[in-house]
């Protein structure tokens, strides 16, 4: 024997185990990783996580596989056309690593994903092409105390950066007036969402997506292994056209509104589909007092009202999920105005179920009263272990 450690040839991680200090079997197998976005970037992130032998991954995306995705997404096949991207990704990941349990959620992450899904994660990796969803994810992760790794591509350019919940700058810290104007452009003059056809698409190179995703997963590994050299807000910038690679830092804004942390989250067996607003207020009343209110995460379009013909159409959906094209009155063609609601009361909404009021399953719901505020997790909606690989539809 020459003193070198021998590793059984039947161990699929034999070579990974040689990366002592970077790949720790216990850390990787025990980690709970979330991937928000299953496009070209998300595909590469998921592929890397499967090959690194992660065992628990949540993937969230609202879109379905289109033919144009096949040239840029390593997990999608022709047979997947028309399927939810999360279901198609889970299908291919089962071949890459049968030991990987995938919780696939086909939903709009920003408006339809319960925050309980995020709260149980150790790290979140974003494969997004939307500034507004990154803004939301930054605030949600910071409030829940979960680190996240952002990545973006544009033509031959890309970057990757980790944001830590308790130290350093966040994604929003560096927002300029131009960034805020770009955020405002996703809403119409009635503050309803711009239709998808009007937003356009972002071209993604599979080569740049591969590099950015590799950097993101590497940063996530550093975060999970608690390596001291991780600096929140420090970006790794790619330019394959030059080519060039450099590091850029961000400054922390101590007055940033995103630096907000939830208090203690209390669990409850309540489920969004069956529990009423009144039942949730009953649960919170001993801690917050009466009268209490349920604070919605988003302004909810309660109904659309036509001034021309008087028609009222119930909606009960977050404002970001109501498209401007829906504002036209089907009866007379006039443009309707939305009635917006941002809190629920016992007197007005008590008998209504939480789901009917637009609150997603497995959410963390804020309840306020004269004695304080608590956050209640709808733990009755938590996916069971035996359904972990089944795609879930939210909304």
Contact status, residue 128 vs residue 246, Cβ threshold 8 Å: no
Q: How far apart are CA 275 and CA 395, in angstroms?
A: 16
Give the angle 104-110-115 at the CA atoms, nearest 5°: 70
Confidence (pLDDT) at 52: 97
Confidence (pLDDT) at 384: 72
CB atoms inside a 10 Å sphere around CB 38 = 30
Q: Which of 297, 292, 350 is nearest to 116 (CA)?
A: 297
Q: How far apart are CA 141 and CA 261, in angstroms?
A: 9
Residue 316 — left, alpha, or beta (φ > 0 → left; ψ -120 to 50 → alpha)? left
Q: Where are the alpha helices (DSSP H) in the chain?
A: 14-17, 25-30, 40-51, 85-96, 109-112, 115-119, 131-144, 177-184, 196-199, 206-224, 277-288, 346-349
Q: Which two tokens stand for residue 301?
A: 């379009």
Confidence (pLDDT) at 9: 60
Contact status, residue 121 vs residue 58, Cβ threshold 8 Å: yes
Confidence (pLDDT) at 203: 67
Residue 8 — left, alpha, or beta (φ > 0 → left; ψ -120 to 50 → alpha)? beta
The residue behind tokens 């203690």 is 264
Residues in the chain: 395
User: In the chain, what are the domains?
Assistant: 14-248 (3.40.50.720), 265-383 (no CATH)
Q: How far apart are CA 174 and CA 170, in angstroms?
A: 8
Confidence (pLDDT) at 383: 86
Mean pLDDT by 10 residues, the chain (395 residues): 48 83 91 97 98 97 95 95 98 97 96 97 95 95 97 90 93 90 62 56 79 96 90 86 80 93 95 98 96 96 95 93 91 94 97 96 98 97 59 40
Confidence (pLDDT) at 267: 94
Q: How far apart are CA 274 and CA 47, in angstroms?
A: 37
Q: Which of 177, 259, 212, 169 is nearest to 48 (CA)?
A: 212
Please measure the distance between the N-terminal and C-terminal CA atoms of the chain and give it in whole angstroms.
Answer: 61
- How crowded is the C-beta side of 162, counted as CA atoms within 13 Å? 23
Q: How far apart are CA 84 and CA 65, in angstroms?
A: 6
CB atoms inside a 10 Å sphere around CB 373 = 15
């Amino acid at each position: 024997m020459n003193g070198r450690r021998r590793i059984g040839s039947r161990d699929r991680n034999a070579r990974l185990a040689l990366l002592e200090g970077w790949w720790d079997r216990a850390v990787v197998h025990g980690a709970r990783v979330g991937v928000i976005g299953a496009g070209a970037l998300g595909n590469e992130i998921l592929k890397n996580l499967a090959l690194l032998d992660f065992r628990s991954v949540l993937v969230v995306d609202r879109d379905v596989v289109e033919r144009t995705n096949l040239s840029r997404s390593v997990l999608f096949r022709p047979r997947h056309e028309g399927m939810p991207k999360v279901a198609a990704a889970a299908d291919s990941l089962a071949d890459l690593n049968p030991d990987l349990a995938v919780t696939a959620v086909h939903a709009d992450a920003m408006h339809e994903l319960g925050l309980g899904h995020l709260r149980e994660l150790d790290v979140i990796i974003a494969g997004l092409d939307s500034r507004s969803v990154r803004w939301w994810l930054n605030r949600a992760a910071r409030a829940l105390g979960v680190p996240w790794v952002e990545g973006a591509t544009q033509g031959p350019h890309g970057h990757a950066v980790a944001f830590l919940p308790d130290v350093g700058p966040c994604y929003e810290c560096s927002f300029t007036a131009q960034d805020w104007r770009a955020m405002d452009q996703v809403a119409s003059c009635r503050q309803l969402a711009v239709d998808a056809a009007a937003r356009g698409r972002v071209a993604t190179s599979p080569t740049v997506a591969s590099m950015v995703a590799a950097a993101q997963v590497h940063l996530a590994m550093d975060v999970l292994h608690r390596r001291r050299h991780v600096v929140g807000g420090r970006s790794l910038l790619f330019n394959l056209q030059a080519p060039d690679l450099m590091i850029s830092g961000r400054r922390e804004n101590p007055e940033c509104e995103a630096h907000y942390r939830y208090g203690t989250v209390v669990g409850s067996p309540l489920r969004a589909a069956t529990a009423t607003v009144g039942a949730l207020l009953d649960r919170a009343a001993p801690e917050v007092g009466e009268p209490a209110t349920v604070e919605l995460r988003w302004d909810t379009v309660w109904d659309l009202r036509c001034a021309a013909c008087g028609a009222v159409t119930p909606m009960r959906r977050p404002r970001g999920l109501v498209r401007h094209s829906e504002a036209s009155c089907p009866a007379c063609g006039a443009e309707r105005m939305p009635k917006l609601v941002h809190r629920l009361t016992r007197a007005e909404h008590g008998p209504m179920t939480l789901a009917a009021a637009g609150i997603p399953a497995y959410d963390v719901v804020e309840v306020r009263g004269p004695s304080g505020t608590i956050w209640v997790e709808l733990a009755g909606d938590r996916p069971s272990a035996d359904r972990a690989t089944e795609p879930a539809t939210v909304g």
